[in-house]
Structure 1
């Protein structure tokens, strides 16, 4: 598993925990829905701006997302 895949798994987990659609996450974070889909599938590299924007909408601190990604990567 690479960083992009782990990031996608983590943001999808938080999004689904909040019963939020990709469209709602995209709208709130000022991103395109297809970009959210690509992130969740590990097909795009998130920027620091993307991380902060998504974490704000998901109401999760950015460091928590990074920590969860790191935890997933350590499992491999």
Structure 2
């Protein structure tokens, strides 16, 4: 037998004494904020519907994959700055206008949360 009982026992004791990483966080850091993603999604959807565009047709005009654009509108993804500017340009508005609309929506939701408490 290549392994002796003594060698196996020594290896098990060594493994049992290895330091654990209990100090490490269990979740990884992320920049995704569901409130932000939902606010931008609602703004994108309302602007698109207001202008009478179909989702897939608008995604094509904006240069965004249609399935990804759908995830943006549902708040499953958060737009990068570059993507925000590209979508804003397709709407014919500035990125600042879209950002302001999302900020107003988030502030409104925050006030509603406070009232419910």
TM-score tier by shorter-chain length is: over 0.9
Pairs aligned (count): 76
Q: TM-score, normalised by structure 1?
A: 0.93
Aligned to 1:25: 58
Q: TM-score, normalised by structure 2?
A: 0.62
- CA drift of 1:38 comes to 0.2
Give 5+ residue unaligned stretches, structure 1: none
Q: Is contact 1:25-1:54 (8 Å) kept? A: no
In 2, Cα distance between equivalents of 1:4 and 1:16:
18
Q: Which has the higher contact order (CA 8 A, sep 6+)?
A: 1
1:1-76 paired onto structure 2 within 5 Å: 2-75=35-108, 76=110
4+ residue runs of structure 1 moved beyond 3 angstroms? none
CA RMSD of aligned residues (A): 1.1
Give 5+ residue unaligned stretches, structure 2: 1-33, 111-117
| Larger gyration radius, structure 1 or structure 2 | 2
- CA drift of 1:49 comes to 1.0
Higher helix share: 1
